[in-house]
A and B are shown apart, each in its own frame.
Chain A
Amino acid sequence: MSFETNKFNSHIAVPENLVYAKTRLMNDKPLSYCPGCGHGTIHRLIMETVEELDILEDTIGIAPVGCSVLAYEFMGTDVQQAAHGRACALATGISRLYPDKYVFTYQGDGDLAAIGTAETIHACNRGENIVIIFVNNGIYGMTGGQMAPTTLPGMKTSTSPFGREQKDAGYPLKMTELVAHLPGTYYVTRQSVHTPVNVRKAKKAIKKAFELTRHKKGVSFVEIVSNCNSGWKMTPVDANKWMEDNMFPFYPLGDIKVPSK
């Protein structure tokens, strides 16, 4: 990779960006996540965003139930931990009572797309002025690798040991496309954090999501397709490859809905 500057990347390839410093808002506690997992990176991108936008005094996060249930142990913002699936209801309560605050939820696919489907759909449909960060790894990680609503067809999990069969378990739920249809969502995008380029794109998307809540035009919804090498029973490198080959064709990366200028 060359760091030669030109007119297209001169704003990125400045010396202070060549080495990533530790984000002040990430606590010193060692992450509880498996090596190779995307959660740590995604946490950091959110905390960088809060730091860069200088909105710490007005930011409240909601942690889910799932692998990231302890997100509040690593993130330096005020955080409420929600019952399984209810993060969007908590965020609604806070955002309605503090309309000028930045309220974000951080949820996995089981939390957001199974048990919390109603809360998610209705928060999006009401156009709550919140940021929803949706980390989709197609599996229940914390409870030991069970089938999720987003598990791909044929994918083996501990509760679909012979592979997900559509006739029994139905189809993977594309929540992000679904909420993009609702007029209450303002910005809907799907990203990943498995390469440096994707990390940068995801960071831009997250920052944009937070900035757009200033418009008070509805939900900013950022899906991050992520790996679960432990649950998928692969090495981190293989998991990333498998994600590119299998998850991305089904969950294509990129913006799905952007505010018109």
Chain B
Amino acid sequence: MDKNVRLMKGNEALAEAAILAGCDGYFGYPITPQSEIMEYLMAEQPMHRTGMVVLQAESEIASINMVYGGAGAGKRVMTSSSSPGISLMQEGISYLAGAELPCVVVNVVRGGPGLGTIQPAQSDYFQSVKGGGHGDYKMITLAPFSVQEMADFVALGFDLAFKYRIPVMILSDGAIGQMMEKVVLPAQRPRWTEQEIRELSPWATVGRTKDRQNNIITSLNLKSDVQEEHNRQLQAKYKTIIENEVRYEESYCEDADVILVAYGTSARICQKAVDIAREQGIKLGLLRPISLFPFPEAAFNKYAEKVKGFLSVEMSAGQMVEDIRLVVEGRTKVAHYGRMGGIVPTTEEIIENVKNLIN
């Protein structure tokens, strides 16, 4: 079969990939720079292709709670937004995590705080990886750095979400969402039938049958010992995820004096910076975390005692760098270089900072 190769925007590729992933429902609210996701879905009318529902909600709060309803009923459901809208969803995400519901949430990050800017940023790392909403919880967080990965991470996100009954965040940024690139689209996956949902997700509220008790989706445990036990189970699940679902990519790290650490748009610029630095005789490498939670700790341990330092390059005031420091534990230098407010770092700035780190 011929490959389905297209030239698409990151946001559009993600939307098309959602249809192809057998997604049952998308619920969203417009916000720049990710509105193309819902625009594409509305124009594509996936109800006629796969039966997928697309609904424009009255707010991000409503969107994430429509996702909660659909996820609680065993469907593959998703929403997308950008930073201010994702802040509004935090209550719902906490409930999804507490009730252990699978879903995909996409954040095409823009600069903050507040209304900030519509330009790309990576300043929602803490919010995605450390919690964001209330309570002790985690989301699996995947960081695409190409239009191809915007497409690939939708199906992967649903698979992980259902494997662990956990919300999955695709943490993109305005540049990845808006740029056009070649993408190879996957084959169409079928949507699950109600019978398949009843078998695959026996916990789902699809309607009680005679052979079982009523299913209840809730995050409420009024008894402290029950709530603590629930928390212990969540933490055990996160531990399993840390053991099994780490994803990262490394290039030129084996002989590197300095390793750049970057994800998303920053990682693309770092790739170029590595090429330029190598031409200048600087042994530079790149470690690109793909899963931000679980964080690729083993990769850092491999090089912590071999390199002169790690340089975290982020479009933020320095968020991921804290996780690197936690892993490295003083074994080598850990520095940060970041731009904010929607400005992307340049290769020159990065190499300058590498030189400062070495000297």
Contacts and interface: CB of A to CB of B under 8 A. Distances in A.
Interface of A: 56-60, 62-63, 69-70, 72, 75-83, 86, 89-94, 96-98, 101, 118-119, 122
Interface string B71-93: 01101010000000000000110
Interface string B49-89: 00001010111011101111110110101000000000000
Contact of A122 (B62, B69, B72, B209): B62
A166 to B, nearest CB: 28
B214 interface: yes
B66 A92 contact: yes
Contacts of B69: 62, 80, 89-94, 97
Contacts, number: 127
Contact of A89 (B25, B66, B207, B218): B66
Interface of B: 24-25, 27, 53, 55, 57-59, 61-63, 65-70, 72-73, 75, 77, 91-92, 95, 99, 194, 205-210, 214-220
A80 B218 CA distance: 6
Contacts of B205: 60, 78-80, 94
B216 A78 contact: yes
A63 B218 CA distance: 9
Given A72-B216, A93-B68, A83 B62 contact: no
Nearest to A101: B207
A252 B19 CA distance: 48
Nearest to A82: B65
Contacts of A76: 208, 214
B208 A96 contact: no
B62 A79 contact: no
B58 A56 contact: no
Contact of B207 (A59, A72, A96): A59
A56 B25 contact: no
Given A72-B214, A119-B58, 14 more contacts: A57-B210, A63-B218, A78-B216, A80-B216, A81-B217, A81-B219, A81-B220, A83-B65, A83-B91, A86-B65, A90-B68, A90-B72, A97-B70, A97-B75
**List of 4 A-B pairs having minimum Cβ-Cβ separation, nearest first:** A93-B69, A90-B69, A89-B65, A93-B66
Contacts of B216: 72, 78-81
Tell me which of B57, B69, B210 has the highest count of chain A C-beta atoms within 10 A of its own C-beta. B69
Contacts of A96: 25, 53, 55, 66, 70
A93 B27 contact: yes
B137 to A, nearest CB: 14
A16 B140 CA distance: 56
Contacts of A75: 214
5 contacts: A57-B207, A59-B208, A86-B65, A89-B69, A119-B62
Contacts of A98: 73, 194, 206
Contact of B77 (A93, A101, A118): A93
B40 to A, nearest CB: 19
Given A62-B69, A93-B77, A83 B95 contact: yes
Nearest to B73: A94
Tell me which of A56, A81, A97, A101 has the highest count of chain B C-beta atoms within 10 A of its own C-beta. A97
B57 A78 contact: no
Nearest to A99: B53
B215 A78 contact: yes
Given A89-B57, A118-B59, A77 B208 contact: yes
A87 to B, nearest CB: 8
Nearest to B56: A126
A59 B214 CA distance: 11
B71 to A, nearest CB: 8
Contacts of B61: 86, 89, 118-119
A197 to B, nearest CB: 31
A97 B53 contact: yes
A33 to B, nearest CB: 15
